[in-house]
Amino acid sequence: MNLMQPFKSELGLTTGIITPVSHVIRRSLSDMRGMYADDAATERILAQEGDRLIYEVYPVDLPEEEGHILHSTTIIYPGRVSDEYHMTKGHFHVKRDRAEIYLGLAGHGYLLLQTDAGEVSSVPMQPGTIAYVPPYWAHRTVNTGSEPFIFFAAWPGDSGHDYGTIEKIGFAKIMVERDGQVALVANPKYI
């Protein structure tokens, strides 16, 4: 057995940054082409304003193996593409029965979940909210506020990430601003 030594990381509760920084995953609008409902709006923003940063992930460096508990923070910057709020790509776990825990640290948003059968659930999140992603649910987070939405996540080391299914079919519902309110509406592009 290869015995790992105990260690710790420091989490900036207001910044969401975990140190030491092993690596940072940055997703810009161009990384999410085709994921927002309004493709024309995506292309307009890219042409007129450039490639805006949508979210960043700060992971703790650990082996992606059974027995470990992977953990990270996600910072979703505020904004919209047309009327649709900034969000993560969203994924199923490759091992579909692997659950996950999210803890809201700053800002406001929603956890959107969807099953293989297309059932959708939405969980509002604010600082202090512990949101549970049960086995078999794809998950995406959305910043519906005007500040960065920051949360901590922990999940089993052997979960794996399946992005392809969501890239192909999308989420059945999207979070948009309608008449100044946050609304969960049918995704016109959902297959």
Query: Can you point out the beta strands (E) in the chain?
Result: 10-11, 18-19, 25-28, 53-59, 69-76, 80-81, 84-85, 92-93, 100-106, 109-114, 120-125, 130-133, 138-143, 149-156, 161-162, 173-178, 181-186
145 near 106, Cβ under 8 Å? no
Which position among 88, 143, 144, 187 is part of the footprint of ligand S6P (CB under 6 A)? 88
Helix ranges restricted to H, 39-182: 39-48, 164-169
Greatest distance between any 2 Cα atoms in the chain: 59
CB of 155 to Zn ion, least distance (A): 5
Q: Which is nearer to Zn ion, 50 or 135 (CB)?
A: 135
Binding segment toward ligand S6P, per CB under 6 A, in 13-21, 84-92, 115-123, 169-177: 84-92
Classify 107 in phi/psi space as left (phi over 0), alpha (psi -120 to 50) or beta. Answer: left
Classify 40 in phi/psi space as left (phi over 0), alpha (psi -120 to 50) or beta. Answer: alpha
Binding segment toward Zn ion, per CB under 5 A, in 17-25, 29-37, 98-106, 109-117: 98-106
Binders in 17-56 for ligand S6P, by CB under 6 A: none
Binders in 63-82 for ligand S6P, by CB under 6 A: 72, 74
Q: Does 113 bind ligand S6P (CB under 6 A)?
A: no
Size of the site for ligand S6P (CB under 6 A): 13
Q: Does 114 bind ligand S6P (CB under 6 A)?
A: no
Binding partner of residue 88 among Zn ion, ligand S6P, none, CB cut-off 5 to 8 Å per kind:
ligand S6P
Binding segment toward Zn ion, per CB under 5 A, in 4-12, 43-51, 97-105, 166-174: 97-105
Residues found near ligand S6P in the complex (CB under 6 A): 57, 72, 74, 88-91, 100, 139, 141, 153, 155, 161
